[in-house]
Amino acid sequence: MEILKVVLTWIDIIIMVLFIGLVAIQTSRSEGIFSPGAADSMFGKAKPGFDDNLSRLTLILAVSMFVLTAVVTYMP
């Protein structure tokens, strides 16, 4: 059980480093309701591109990091 905890901890650290890197390379965009591109985004003009895939991957890494950290923390 201890070996599994160490392996999961290292996987968690790798996911954390990847998450930090993805957040650092994302472009900042203001998507408020009063921003100039708000009407375009409301009506679905934007096509999925690199930024959307990057955001999706960042979300997946964030959720997996949260779950894996909780599992490692509460593991006996």
The rounded Cα 5 to chain-centroid distance in angstroms is: 23
Domain containing residue 55: 2-27+43-73
The region that residue 42 occupies, defined by phi over 0 for left and psi between -120 and 50 for alpha, beta otherwise, is alpha
Could you tell me the CA-to-CA distances from 37 to 31, 40, 42, 43, 49 in Å, in that order?
A: 7, 5, 9, 10, 16
| Cβ–Cβ < 8 Å for 22, 58 | yes
Amino acid 31: pLDDT: 58
Amino acid 76: pLDDT: 83
Q: Does any domain span residue 58?
A: yes
Q: Tell me how far apart the alpha carbons of residues 4 and 16 are, in angstroms, rounded to a whole number.
A: 18
Q: Does any domain span residue 36?
A: no
Pick the more confident residue, 51 or 3. Answer: 3
Q: Does any domain span residue 35?
A: no
pLDDT tens string 20-76: 999 998 877 665 555 555 555 555 555 678 888 888 999 999 999 999 999 999 988
DSSP 8-state secondary structure symbol assigned to residue 46: P
